[in-house]
Amino acid sequence: MTTTPEASTAKSGSLPAPPQQQRRPGERVCEAVRSRITPLQSQYLADVPSAVAALAQLRRGVGRPAYDSPVEWGIVGLESLARMRQHDGEEGHFVGGPRHVAREDEAMHLAVTLYALHQQSERKKRMYVQGIPFGAAVRTLATLPPGVKAGSAEPVPEPRDEQPKSEPTEANTAETSETAPRREQEISETVRKRFLRVGTATALEPLTVRLREIVLLLRARDIPFDHGLLADQLTSWLDPSQRDLVRRQWGREFTHHTGRRGSRPDTVPAPRDAGGATAAPA
């Protein structure tokens, strides 16, 4: 009598291991970013000195290549990303070449340093909230009434930054377009144009500058987003063959966002483990 594999398994009392789902490179980066930011954010809000110092160091890394500053070594979280790559390779999943490894590292570095800038001086509200796409956050920014923060009627001071403004002409335009009250769901043309410039970037350096400008505006209005999802998209964006796909994702997020104005940015879903991270929509 021939014994089938199923019967043999049943006799032994053990079940075959379920096949592990292949993880996209962007998903891996998303998970690594979330696993780094989640505890860092909690510690920063609790005024833990090491977290406060780490965010200050990370902020100085915005716009610099990954590994460029020795001060950042060990605080970005790239070690966890390297371990994920090693695990995926050992399990027979996607094994990236050197070029793709560099893309993943740059995407994570940019996302984490932008988070540090986003959270700066905000000790009550969480600027990282899982599940809020970057484009949806920009839509919230574009539809908020002038001078109002998300979730409150508190006046908004002008965002301050140590670097000079790169586009004084656009800032002058904002003085006229942003001072007039907007109707419900009317979109700020100034914000829309800034987001358009993000979408039309063709190199990492200008993209970083434009993302940085928008993050400063989001910070001034207490508008959070999911930096893990952004890291997923940046991983794809750094591959020229995937860049148009990311642009379409950002456009859909901005156009289809139906969240209510003034949603509470400090209401955070319970964090999920690394295996449950959700990738950005295609």
pLDDT tens-place string over residues 79-128: 989 898 888 774 444 455 677 889 999 999 999 999 999 999 999 999 99
pLDDT at 139 over 90: yes
Of 178, 189, 263, which Cα lies nearest the Cα of 223? 263
**Cβ contacts of 281 within 8 Å, gap of 6 or more:** 133, 249, 252
- Quick one: pLDDT band at residue 148, thresholds 50, 70, 90? confident
Check whether 59 has a pLDDT greater than 70. Answer: yes
Mean pLDDT of 55-60: 96
Q: What is the structure's pLDDT at 146?
A: 83
Complete domains list, the chain, with CATH: 23-156+163-266 (1.10.520.40)
Dihedral Cα 125, 131, 133, 136, nearest 10 deg: -70
Average pLDDT, the chain: 79
182 pLDDT higher than 70: no
How many Cβ atoms from other residues are within 10 Å of residue 70's Cβ? 7
Average pLDDT score over residue span 158-165: 50
Q: How far is the C-alpha of 228 from the C-alpha of 28, rounded, in Å?
A: 10
Stated pTM of the model: 0.73
